[in-house]
Amino acid sequence: MSMVRKSVLVFRELPPDQLARITAVHEVVVANPRKPAERPAFEAALPHAHGLIGSSHPVTPQLLAQASQLEVISSISVGVDNYPLDALRERGILLCHTPGVLTETTADTVFALVMATSRRIVELANHVREGRWDRNIGEDLFGWDVHGKTLGLLGFGRIGQAVARRAALGFGMPVLYHSRRPVDMPELAGRAVHTPLDRLLAQADIVAAVLPLTPQTRGLMGAREFGLMKPGAIFVNGGRGATVQEDALLQALDQGRLRAAGLDVFATEPLPPDSPLRRHPRVTALPHIGSATHETRQAMAALATTNLLQALAGQRPQAVYAGGA
């Protein structure tokens, strides 16, 4: 790799071993703009930065305009909705991300939400914790079987396919999926069927979204779509919050149309303190933990660091989302 020292701005904490790989080659400033005390250092470093590495902070076109030296942004995420794709393309700035290394972990989280909502795991664990388990439970606390139910997947990329494997092979669930194009998955032997959105919503018992946020998917699930779902169905979201119109979801829950919702992602994160989704009795809400295990976050940081170092050395990075000459 090239030994030309460049300037790197780390805008989210990196594990020490990955930070050391960068400091061995480049000048590094670590400053998280989400922390008010670190914001001035972030702003001071931005005009000199050749590389940015981090996640969770929206890189606006205004912010990008200040980064006049920028060659690469290496995101520690697979989702790239925080970045201004057109402006990056226009300036020939590379955008790298971390596909693949978080697929299985995120699929585990999505499936955990399917299980938790169907079997009322959090609600019933609280029942025990709060000292209310004083007799055999009755029908009012029974759950709903997962095995054998029809799963509808919105999005059938890396994560959608990993969820489908769990569902079809582990739980005997027929899978319907909605995606931009049909996918050949020989290991599922026809048990995952490409299906138009409206038909999927009408036929699935459990609908799980694992979509990226794009202009086409923003607000995809609204009142009409929740209205098409089977009465008593479950909705899970492990993709991006803004693909769902949250008011419409709340209405479907309050009207008793939906049995429950399991959500890892929200239109605004962290979820505002007064959001009804925080305390709704039929909602299992998680703080965006899809990929949040020690092993996976380490693998994401390592891949993002490799992407950054390769780009700054003039090589084609391992996982480029867009851009570059």
Ligand X SMILES: O=C(O)[C@H](O)CO
Ligand Y SMILES: NC(=O)c1ccc[n+]([C@@H]2O[C@H](COP(=O)([O-])OP(=O)(O)OC[C@H]3O[C@@H](n4cnc5c(N)ncnc54)[C@H](O)[C@@H]3O)[C@@H](O)[C@H]2O)c1
Only segment of 5-13, 77-85, 178-186, 277-285 that touches ligand X (CB under 6 A): 77-85
Q: Which of 55, 150, 179, 318 binds ligand X (CB under 6 A)?
A: 55
**Helix, strand, coil percent values for the chain (each to nearest 5):** 40, 15, 45
Closest to ligand Y by CB, 34 vs 180, is 180
The answer to the question of residue 152 lying near ligand Y (CB under 6 A) is: no
Near ligand Y by CB under 6 A: residue from 265, 271, 277, 283: 265
Q: Which of 240, 246, 259, 282 is catalytic?
A: 240
Residues 6+ apart with CB under 8 A from 129: none
- Choosing from 160, 174, 241, 323, the residue that interacts with ligand Y (CB under 6 A) is 160
Chain-centroid distance of CA 298 in Å reads: 17
The minimum distance between CB 209 and ligand Y, in angstroms, equals 9
Nearest distance from residue 60's CB to ligand X, in Å?
Answer: 18
Q: Is 269 a catalytic residue?
A: yes
Question: Using an 8 Å Cβ cutoff, are 161 and 137 in contact?
Answer: no
- Judged by beta carbon distances under 5 to 8 A according to partner kind, the member of ligand Y, ligand X, none in contact with residue 155 is ligand Y
Distance of alpha carbon 42 from alpha carbon 144, whole angstroms: 49
E strand segments, 113-209: 151-154, 175-178, 192-194, 206-209
* Helix 294-312, helix 16-23: angle, nearest 10: 10
| From 29-37, 73-81, 178-186, 254-262, span contacting ligand X (CB under 6 A) | 73-81
Give which of ligand Y, ligand X, none residue 55 binds (C-beta under 5 to 8 Å, depending on kind): ligand X
Which amino acid is present at 64? L
Is the Cβ of residue 182 or residue 287 nearer to ligand X in the bound state? 287
Nearest approach, Cβ of residue 304 and ligand X (Å): 10
Q: Which one, 197 or 292, has the nearer CB to ligand X?
A: 292
Is-contact 14 29, C-beta < 8 A?
no
Number of DSSP helices (H) and strands (E) in the chain, helices first: 12, 13
Which residues does 27 contact at the CB level (< 8 Å), separation at least 6?
A: 5, 6, 7, 8
Binding site for ligand X (CB under 6 A): 55, 77-79, 102, 290-291
Task: Give catalytic residue positions.
Answer: 240, 269, 288
